[in-house]
């Protein structure tokens, strides 16, 4: 009982802080918070595929990129706003994920081979986008930078606080969707597949279709993040957005936080960004400008976590905070 | 000519995401040795190979052996962590600018009738072939080589037969690292080196290994050859910038249709 109350208290307090943050924090803090939420969101999306269904994708930058290019292309070339563009982005990504998933799962590709397959597709599409001149090619695609002081919801242009709230909404929504899914049939089926696919099949789960659903849902969620990315950063380069290191960035959060847990992606993203940017900031204060310092921290963090906390930092952290740590 | 070099990549079977970064590290070693001690990259190669073999052995002993019984994705993540650390430490140490090595023979070439061959490339290819041959001989003829192959075939059986499996894994990784060092030192006379060079070479190595067949040395050579030729052809026929598209297309095709690779055995 008291544990439950404690949980609610912690949750409510965090929610309150997150809601009023734009009023009390500087723009820098806000941009850091937005980054945390962005990573938490894409981490959550990726976690559906890997954490729940156990299919390791190392090519999720593919969906971020395609989503971003779909919406930004529509906006830049035809003036169609992101509210329509996001549907195109979702449709495209879901379709691509469907094709990749269909090929992979029909032909029984799994494990390392599946991961390599996802990388290969991401790289293939990256090079393809380098050759689409209508979308800028390797030179990049740019969106007009709007005045940052007025809110234009239709074109999704506005001050940093607007982007912050949008990302907060998305992250909260993703958390709610995942929490709901886990309690339903889908969640149980996915975890059954993750733990033992043959056994899952033996008890009558159509593993092919459930894996497909996980992949397509994960891709569709990631597509929305791509749209956000395009309108937040205003510039897209195939070289950057489809790059392998971008995919790695997506998976770092959930892996460090805890694979297959609901809070893992969020905790992981926060830990990464706070430690990474914190170190950069401290070093900058000390008069040291070190490119790459942040990523060394990322790497060390990942190394430590994979060696000492194979289930991520959330389960032990939750125990300390008095939550019931369950690996979902 | 880079074919021979890429073939080296294929020889070890570990799913190693730090491959490209290790090579970049070797390239920087060659640059430093050249600038500081005026050593030719092909001399550095021998030293670097020995050094990397030691480092590789230690890495395997310190980190990876704990992971042998963990799921595959844990091993991959470990290697990714190592690769991030290496790449960014290089960035810290050397800055983002490209470095290169200027040797006296870089612009020379051999004339073979109508064909002109760059000297640096010929040397690089010779080094690659020599390393590959040495490795093949090692695996085929020495006791340790045979023992390693036994481990790869059946780790449990190897342990039952009394082989020090952990030690052998570490030796394998050390050998792989040595090969990578050779490749890096050879490459440095051909291309400039930047800290972010790693990932693209890791991926290239994967393409070659998978296409050729995991764990098959003939396959690796063949895969390197196939990728090299098809990329060159695509560069001529379609567009130079689209050539790596062909290799990734090839990778996807092989992964889907024949995941064990062109020369891999029937068992996965």
Q: How far is B159 from chain A (nearest CA, A)?
A: 24
Confidence of residue A289 (pLDDT cuts 50, 70, 90): low
Beta-carbon neighbour count of residue B146 at 10 Å? Answer: 14
CB contact under 8 A, A112 and B85: no
Distances (CA, A) of A208 to A104, A107, A213, A255: 10, 10, 9, 25
CB contact under 8 A, A109 and B259: yes
Look up the domain containing B93 and give its range. Answer: 2-104+115-196
User: Nearest CA of chain B to the CA of A8: how many Å?
Assistant: 34
Structural domain includes residue A53: yes
HSE, side-chain direction, 13 A CA sphere, residue B78: 23
- Chain B neighbors of A299, CB-CB under 8 A: 81-85, 88
Q: Is residue A40 part of a domain?
A: yes
pLDDT of residue A221 exceeding 60, the answer is: yes
The reply to whether A136 falls in a domain is yes
- A234 to chain B, closest Cα gap in Å: 24
Q: What is the mean pLDDT of chain B?
A: 69
CB B19 within 8 A of CB B205: yes
State the burial class of residue B63 (Cβ atoms within 10 Å of its Cβ: 0-12, 13-18, 19+). Answer: middle
> Sorting pLDDT into bands at 50, 70 and 90, what band is A153?
low
Q: What is the ipTM of this complex?
A: 0.70
Integer CA distances (angstroms), B188 to A230, B124, B181, in order: 37, 10, 11
State phi, psi for B110 to the nearest 5 degrees. Answer: -90, 150
Name the domain count of chain B.
Answer: 1
Parallel/antiparallel/unpaired status of strands A141-142 and B115-118: unpaired
Whether residue A276 lies inside any domain: the answer is no
Is residue B141 in some structural domain?
Answer: yes
Domain count, chain A: 1
Determine, yes or no, domain membership for B256: no
From chain A, the residues in CB contact with B72 under 8 A are 56, 111-112
Under an 8 A CB cutoff, do A109 and B255 touch?
yes
pTM summary value? 0.77
Q: Is residue B60 domain-resident? A: yes
Q: Is residue B65 part of a domain?
A: yes
Q: In this complex, is the C-beta atom of A109 within 8 Å of any C-beta atom belonging to chain B?
A: yes
Residue A323: predicted pLDDT:
64
Sign of the dihedral through C-alpha A103, A104, A106, A108? positive
User: Is residue B206 a part of any domain in this protein?
Assistant: no
Of A113, A138, A292, the CB nearest to B259: A113
**Inter-chain CB proximity A306 and B74 less than 8 Å:** yes
pLDDT at B268: 36
Tokens standing for A100? Answer: 């990749």
Residue with tokens 């379709």: A95
pLDDT at B64: 67
CB contact B254 to A (< 8 Å)? no
Nearest to A131 among B67, B207, B242 (CB): B242
pLDDT of residue B7 exceeding 50, the answer is no
DSSP state of B262: S
Q: Please report whether residue B260 resides in a domain.
A: no
What mean pLDDT, rounded, does chain A reach?
A: 79
Size of interface A-B (CB pairs under 8 A): 113
The pLDDT > 90 percentage for chain A reads 0
Query: Residue B259: closest CA among chain A residues belongs to which residue?
Result: A113
Cα gap B189→A120, rounded to integer Å? 29
Chain A partners within 8 Å of B199 (Cβ)? 243-245
CA–CA gap between residue A144 and residue A75 (Å, rounded): 10
Note the pLDDT tens digit of each residue in A61-107.
888 888 888 888 888 777 777 787 788 888 888 888 888 888 888 77
What pLDDT shows up at residue B166? 72
- Chain A contact for B162 (CB, 8 A cutoff): no
Of B15, B199, B249, which has the smallest distance from its Cβ to A112's Cβ? Answer: B15
Nearest CA in chain B to A105: B256
Element (H, E) at B116: strand B115-118
Q: Tell me the nearest-neighbour CA distance from B248 into chain A, angstroms.
A: 6
Selecting from B66, B70, B92 the residue whose C-beta is nearest the C-beta of A290 gives: B92
Handedness of CA A297, A302, A303, A307 (dihedral sign): positive
Nearest to B251 among A120, A248, A295 (CB): A120
Q: What is the pLDDT of residues B126-173, one digit of tens each?
A: 777 777 777 777 767 777 767 776 666 666 777 677 677 777 777 777
B70 in a structural domain = yes
End-to-end CA distance of chain B: 31
Can you tell me the mean pLDDT for B1-10? 46
Q: How many residues does chain B have?
A: 268
The full DSSP string for A50-117 is IIIT----S-THHHHHHHHHHHHHHHHHH---HHHHHHHHHHHHHHHHHHHHHHHHHTT--HHHHHHH
Residue with tokens 């959060």: A253
Asked if A255 has any chain B CB less than 8 Å from its own CB, the reply is yes
* Alpha-carbon gap, residue B247 to B21, rounded angstroms: 21
Strands B115-118 and A235-236: unpaired
Is there a domain that residue B209 lies in?
A: no
A293 touches chain B (CB under 8 A): yes
The per-residue pLDDT for range A10-49, each reduced to its tens digit, is 778 887 888 777 777 777 778 888 888 888 888 888 888 8
Q: Indicate the residue of A112, A119, A245 with minimum beta-carbon distance to B72.
A: A112
| Residue of A58, A119, A302 lying closest to B84 (CB–CB) | A302
Residue B14 has what DSSP assignment?
A: S
In which domain, by residue range, is A24 found? 10-242
Check if the beta carbon of residue B255 is closer than 8 Å to that of residue A117.
Answer: yes
Q: What is the least distance, in Å, from the CA of B53 to any CA of chain A?
A: 22
């Amino acid at each position: 009982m008291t544990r439950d109350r404690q949980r609610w208290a912690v949750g409510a307090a965090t929610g309150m802080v997150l809601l009023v943050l734009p009023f009390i924090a500087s723009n820098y803090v806000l941009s850091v918070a937005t980054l945390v939420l962005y990573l938490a969101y894409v981490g959550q999306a990726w976690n559906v595929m890997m954490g729940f269904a156990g299919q390791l994708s190392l090519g999720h930058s593919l969906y971020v990129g395609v989503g971003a290019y779909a919406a930004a292309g529509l906006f830049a070339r035809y003036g169609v706003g992101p509210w329509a563009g996001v549907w195109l982005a979702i449709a495209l990504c879901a379709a691509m994920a469907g094709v990749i998933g269909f090929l992979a799962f029909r032909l029984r590709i799994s494990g390392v081979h599946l991961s390599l397959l996802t990388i290969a597709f991401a790289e293939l599409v990256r090079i393809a986008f380098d050759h689409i001149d209508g979308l800028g090619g390797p030179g990049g695609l740019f969106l007009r930078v709007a005045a940052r002081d007025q809110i234009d919801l239709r074109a999704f242009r506005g001050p940093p606080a607007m982007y912050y709230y949008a990302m907060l909404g998305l992250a909260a929504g993703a958390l709610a969707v995942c929490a709901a899914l886990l309690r339903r049939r889908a969640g149980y089926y996915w975890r059954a597949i993750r733990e033992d696919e043959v056994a899952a099949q033996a008890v009558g789960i159509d593993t092919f279709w459930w894996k497909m659903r996980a992949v397509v849902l994960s891709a569709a969620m990631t597509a929305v993040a791509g749209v956000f990315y395009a309108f937040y950063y205003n510039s897209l380069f195939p070289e950057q957005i489809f790059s392998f290191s971008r995919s790695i960035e997506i998976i770092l959060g959930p892996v460090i936080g805890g694979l297959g847990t609901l809070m893992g992606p969020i905790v992981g993203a926060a830990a990464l960004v706070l430690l990474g940017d914190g170190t950069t900031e401290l070093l900058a204060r000390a008069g040291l400008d070190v490119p790459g310092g942040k990523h060394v921290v990322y790497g060390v963090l990942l190394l430590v976590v994979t060696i000492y906390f194979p289930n991520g930092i959330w389960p032990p952290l939750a125990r300390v905070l008095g939550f019931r740590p369950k690996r979902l | 000519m880079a074919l021979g070099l890429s073939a080296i990549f294929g020889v070890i079977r570990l799913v190693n995401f730090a491959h490209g970064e290790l090579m970049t590290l070797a390239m920087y070693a060659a640059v430093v040795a050249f600038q500081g001690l005026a050593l030719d990259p092909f001399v550095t190669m021998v030293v670097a190979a020995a050094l990397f073999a030691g480092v590789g052995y230690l890495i395997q002993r310190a980190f990876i052996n704990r992971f042998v019984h963990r799921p595959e994705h844990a091993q991959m993540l470990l290697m990714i962590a190592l690769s991030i650390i290496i790449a960014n430490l290089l960035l810290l140490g050397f800055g983002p600018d490209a470095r290169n090595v200027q040797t006296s023979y870089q612009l020379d070439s051999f004339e073979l009738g109508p064909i002109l061959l760059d000297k640096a490339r010929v040397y690089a290819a010779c080094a690659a072939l020599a390393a590959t041959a040495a490795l093949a001989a090692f695996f085929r003829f020495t006791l340790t080589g045979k023992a390693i192959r036994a481990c790869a075939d059946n780790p449990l059986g190897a342990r039952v037969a009394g082989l020090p499996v952990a030690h052998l894994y570490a030796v394998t990784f050390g050998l792989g690292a040595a090969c990578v060092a050779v490749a890096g030192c050879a490459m440095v006379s051909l291309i400039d080196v930047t800290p972010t060079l790693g990932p693209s070479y890791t991926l290239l190595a994967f393409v070659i290994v998978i296409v050729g067949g995991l764990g098959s040395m003939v396959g690796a050579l063949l895969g390197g050859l196939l990728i090299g030729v098809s990329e060159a052809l695509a560069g001529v026929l379609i567009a130079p910038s689209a050539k790596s598209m062909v290799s990734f297309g090839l990778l996807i095709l092989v992964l889907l249709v024949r995941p064990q690779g062109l020369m891999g055995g029937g068992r996965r």
